[in-house]
Amino acid sequence: MKFKIVTLGCKVNIYESEMMKQKFLDANFIYTDKNDADVTIINTCSVTNNADSKSRKIIRKEKNNNKNTIIVVCGCMSQNHQDIDKTIDIDILIGTKDKSQIVDIVKKYLDKQIKYKNFYDVSNVSFENMEVSKYQNKTRGFVKIQDGCNNFCSYCVIPYLRGNNRSKDFNIALKEIETLVLNGHKEIILTGIHTGNYHDANHDLADLLEKACAINDLKRLRISSIEVLELTEHFLKVLKDNPKICNHLHIPLQSGSDPILKLMNRRYDTKTYKQIIEKVRTIRPFINITTDVIVGFPNETDEDFLNTLNFCKEIGFSKIHVFPYSKRDRTPAALMKQVNDKTKKERVKKLIELSNELENKYYQKFIDKKVDVLIEETKENYSEGLTSNYIKVKVNKKLNRNNIYNVTLTKVDKLDVFSEL
C-alpha cells in the first residue's frame, strides 16, 4: 500500500512526520508524494487561526484529489477541534498523542473498516518516545527532545494542545543524536515545544549539548529555539566552551514594550532581555540572534509598538519573524481589548521592513570573510547551503550535497548572499 504525509507547522511536526514515515516504511508501505496514496496523513498545526484554516483546506484538498484515500488527521489542529469530523469526512482522527502508534491504528482500520477517533487529556501525560534514525531528504537531522509547555503565555493555545512539559530520556536522546550522525548527518537540530526547558533527572539542556558535542563525527549542533531566561550561566559556559554549537540562537522576544510583556505573561522585561543578550555577545561577538515578535497584541498602543521597533533596533536582531496577533479561544488574551486588523497590518509592514534592513546589515558584516557552508541543494551551476550562523549562501559551483566547504562571501543582493569556493 502507498502512503503520503502532509506536514504543517513547526519543526516538532517535521520530526514527528519523519518518525511516522519511518514507521510506515518499516511496515512495508510505499511512500509517495503524488495523489495515488491509499493512506494520506495530515499532520496539522493550530498556532494561529490561519494555521487552523490552512489545515482544514489541506484535508479537503487531499480528499478531493484522491477520493479513495484513507484520510488520517493528527496534530494540534485536531486536538484543538475534536469535532472537525462533523464537517469534514475523516477516517482516522487523533490529536497530539499516539503518532508513534499510527501504523497500528491504520492497520486496525484496514481490518475493521470502522472509523477511528481517539483523544487524550494531555494536561498530564508522559513523554511519548519516538526515534528517527535517518532523514531521507534532508541533510540536517532533527531530534525532538522535549514536548509540552507550562508557561501559559496569555496569547498561546499550545499548552492546552501539547500538554505538560516533559522530556526525552537523556541517554536515549544522546543515542538518537549519535545514530543520526553515524547515518551521515553532520548537523543536528535539537527541537521541542519548549526546547530550552529540557530536563531529565539531573540533566538540563546545557548538559545534553555538552555531551552531544563529544560525538566525534558531529560537526554542528543547533538549537531550534530558546527562551531568554534559559540562557543561564551554565548554558553560557557550555556555549563558550563548545564551538560545535552553532553560532545562531533564536530567542523569542514577542514585544519590546514592558506593559505588553506583562500582559503576555512573558516573565521578563526588556532590561533583563537586553542584559542577557549582551552576555551572549560577550561570548560570541558575531552570533546571529533571531527572534519572534507578535504585533497588534491586545491593548498595544502606538507608543508600545514604537517601543518595540526601537528595542529591536537597539538589540540588533538579524531577523525578526513577525506575527500579527491571532485571537485564540481559551486564552486570557482573547478577553482583552483587541487591536483592529488595519492597525495590525500597518505595524506588521513596518516591522518586516525593519527586519529586512537588519538582516541585510548583518549579512554585510561577512563580505570578504571566509565561512563554512553545509551544502543542502545543488543546481545546474551553483549550490546552496547554510553557515553555522544560519546565513543561507549561494556558492558559485555545483558541489556535493551534505558536505561542508569553506567559502568567501562576495556579495549581498537584498537578502540573497553569494559566495565563491
Q: Could you read off the pLDDT of 3-13 as tens digits, one per residue?
A: 999 999 999 99
Residue 137 has pLDDT above 90, yes or no: no
DSSP state of 83: T
Residue 402: domain span: 370-420
Last residue of a domain, one of 246, 273, 292: 246
Long-range contacts of 197-203 (CB under 8 A, 24+ apart): 197/146, 197/149, 197/150, 197/165, 197/167, 197/227, 197/230, 198/145, 198/146, 198/167, 198/168, 199/167, 200/167, 200/168, 200/169, 200/170, 200/173, 201/170, 203/170
Residue 265 has pLDDT above 90, yes or no: yes
Percent of the chain with pLDDT strictly greater than 70:
100
Last residue of a domain, one of 120, 150, 184: 120
165 and 57 within one domain: no
Q: State the CATH number of the domain containing residue 411.
A: 2.40.50.140
Which residues, other chains included, contact 121 with Cβ-Cβ below 8 Å and sequence gap of 6+? none
How many residues are listed for the chain in this entry?
Answer: 421
- Rounded Cα–Cα distance for residues 7 and 37 (Å): 15
Residue 325 has pLDDT above 90, yes or no: yes
Last residue of a domain, one of 246, 263, 293: 246
Give pLDDT, residue 255.
98
387 and 286 within one domain: no
286 and 179 within one domain: no
14 and 115 within one domain: yes
Residue 291 has pLDDT above 90, yes or no: yes
pLDDT tens, position by position, 181-217? 999 999 999 999 999 999 999 999 999 999 999 999 9
- pLDDT tier, 351 (very low <50, low <70, confident <90, very high otherwise): very high
Residue 267 lies in a domain: no
Question: What pTM, to 2 d.p., does this model score?
Answer: 0.94
Q: Left, alpha or beta for 373 (phi > 0: left; psi -120 to 50: alpha)?
A: beta
- Rounded Cα–Cα distance for residues 133 and 325 (Å): 37
To the nearest whole number, what is the mean pLDDT of the chain? 97
134 and 72 within one domain: no
- Overall average pLDDT of the 260-269 stretch: 98
Q: State the CATH number of the domain containing residue 167.
A: 3.30.750.210
Residue 314 has pLDDT above 90, yes or no: yes
Give pLDDT, residue 387.
98
224 and 129 within one domain: yes
Give the residue ranges of DSSP H helices in 199-232: 205-213
239 and 137 within one domain: yes
- Rounded Cα–Cα distance for residues 381 and 322 (Å): 34
138 and 200 within one domain: yes
Residue 264 lies in a domain: no
pLDDT tens, position by position, 352-403? 999 999 999 999 999 999 999 999 999 889 999 999 999 999 999 999 999 9
Count of the separate structural domains present in the chain: 4
Give pLDDT, residue 136.
83
8 and 116 within one domain: yes
- Rounded Cα–Cα distance for residues 355 and 313 (Å): 9
232 and 139 within one domain: yes
- pLDDT tier, 74 (very low <50, low <70, confident <90, very high otherwise): very high
238 and 143 within one domain: yes
